[in-house]
Amino acid sequence: MKVLLLGGTGEARELAAQLVANGIDVTSSLAGRTKDLRLPDGAVRVGGFGGVTGLTEWLQSHPVDAVVDATHPFAATMTEHAVTATREADVPLLVLRRPGWSATPGDDWHWVDTAAAAAELLPSIGGRVFLTIGRQGLETFASTGLWTLARCVDPPEPAPTWCTLLLDRGPYDVAAELELLGRHRIDVLVTKDSGGPQTEAKLTAARELQLPVVLIHRPAAPLGVPVVETAAAATSWLQAL
């Protein structure tokens, strides 16, 4: 069996390791937008395909038995391309998405559909913002006029001048997040519903400090495509296939 794994997430690296251990020929495709990439087991290609046409042509010239989309839950464009290209190339597609976060007692969560909606809501609930949405879409929050600490893995280009930029990579722990929120006197957190344990500590810290959290809904999963939440489930699906 040969599998194309659209990766870049921890779940994708976990799945690649499982597939290699089970003797499945896997090629992981990484967008290459992040510096110091954590390479998975098996073969790796880095760089985009060139849209739907490029991915379709790649699948036609590199025959595989299945494609697994294990990209970030907010990588909606890549998922859309995968759905269209695999249908064109007549290749089975599986989507691997870790589950989103769920509120627990003590949480003060405000759900919105877009970054623009989050920016519009912010002035009514806080004045010092901890923004953890990644480097894409930061400028949406420049117009709020609020003091903002923006945390990213890699520096945005061009570098923002309207906020304080913190470059850091997870996983994060609750103690460090509490210290960070206290030191900067943060009174509202903004994040995407990425899910997973690597960046969940900020939500725990916000809960302990009784801070409001603005969460951006993740894009809906594609219709007509099987979706699993763990690497083990993806491995089982591929083995059954």
Domain boundaries, the chain: 2-99+219-240, 108-216
**What's the rounded Cα separation, in Å, for the pair 25 and 87?**
21
**Residue 100 half-sphere exposure, CB side, CA atoms within 13 Å?**
15
User: What does the buried/exposed string (b/e) look like for 110-135 if buried means 16 or more CB atoms within 10 Å of the residue's CB?
Assistant: bebeebebbbebbeeebeebbbbbbb
Closest CA to 9 of 76, 97, 72, 67: 72
Handedness of CA 98, 104, 106, 110 (dihedral sign): positive
Q: Which fold has domain 2-99+219-240?
A: Rossmann fold (3.40.50)
Token pair belonging to 107 = 């949480």
Q: Summarize pLDDT for 14-68 with one digit per residue, the tens.
A: 999 999 999 999 999 998 766 667 789 999 999 889 999 999 999 999 999 999 9
| 2-99+219-240 and 108-216, same CATH topology | yes
Query: Which of the following CATH numbers is that of domain 108-216: 2.60.40.420, 3.40.50.720, 3.40.50.300, 3.60.90.10?
Result: 3.40.50.720
- List Cβ neighbours of 86 (8 Å cut-off, separation of 6 or more): 59, 67, 92, 93
Q: Summarize pLDDT for 165-218 with one digit per residue, the tens.
A: 999 988 899 999 999 999 999 999 999 999 998 899 999 999 999 999 999 999
Cα dist. 5→8, 36, 74, 94, 219 in Å?
A: 9, 19, 17, 10, 20
The Cα angle at residue 130 between residues 128 and 134, in degrees rounded to 5: 145
Cα dist. 206→125, 166, 188 in Å?
A: 14, 18, 8
**What's the rounded Cα separation, in Å, for the pair 154 and 69?**
23
232: helix, strand or coil? helix
Asked whether 172 and 199 are in contact (CB, 8 A), the reply is yes
Under the phi-then-psi rule, with left for phi > 0, alpha for psi from -120 to 50, and beta for the rest, what region is 165?
beta
Average pLDDT over residues 70-78: 94
Judge whether residue 95 has pLDDT over 90.
yes
Judge whether residue 236 has pLDDT over 80.
yes
